[in-house]
Amino acid sequence: MQFVRTDIPDVIIVEPKIHGDERGYFVETYRADKLEEFLGYKINFCQDNESKSSYGVLRGLHYQLPPHAQTKLVRVIKGKVLDVAVDIRKSSPTFGQYVAVELSEENKKQLLIPRGFAHGFLVLEDDTVFAYKVDSYYSPECDRGIAFDDPEIGIDWRIPHDKLILSAKDKAQPKLSDTDDLFEYGINYYG
């Protein structure tokens, strides 16, 4: 298992080792000890989630506020997505910037998105199955979002906006500059 820091160093690509032969493959998708050794702190994942979506579905950009802020470890079981993490930590040197990584059933890459980031993904193949771990339970009171098409962030979603399929909730999210519900850079949200 290899860990690679992205252009926003707190967002980590996890590249598991794939053992394959004529029978198929085996991959170790999660090792708490190795991840914690790399990060230098402990993450207690408590819930796994899974979704199935069609080509063009865009889910996000979502996050939860403290005390229910979430770290996510995301991956694709079947299909392909463009996965995006946006830094929403005020005063961060990378505030408002994003990382986009293609995750697929072929490359088996995962993305670790820490607390203080908004997360979203665009489905690039029909019948894509997306799975992720979180370290805090969902809380409707702490649920927030940022507009997927905020021009100040400028995410290249790779397909025309008129081909995107979004929920009513995701169509109505505020721009980053229009929300005060953000994180502070330099605060340890892991207790």
Indicate which residues carry an active-site annotation: 62, 132
CA angle 82, 12, 66 (to 5 degrees): 90
CA neighbor of 106 nearest in space, from 126, 78, 134? 78
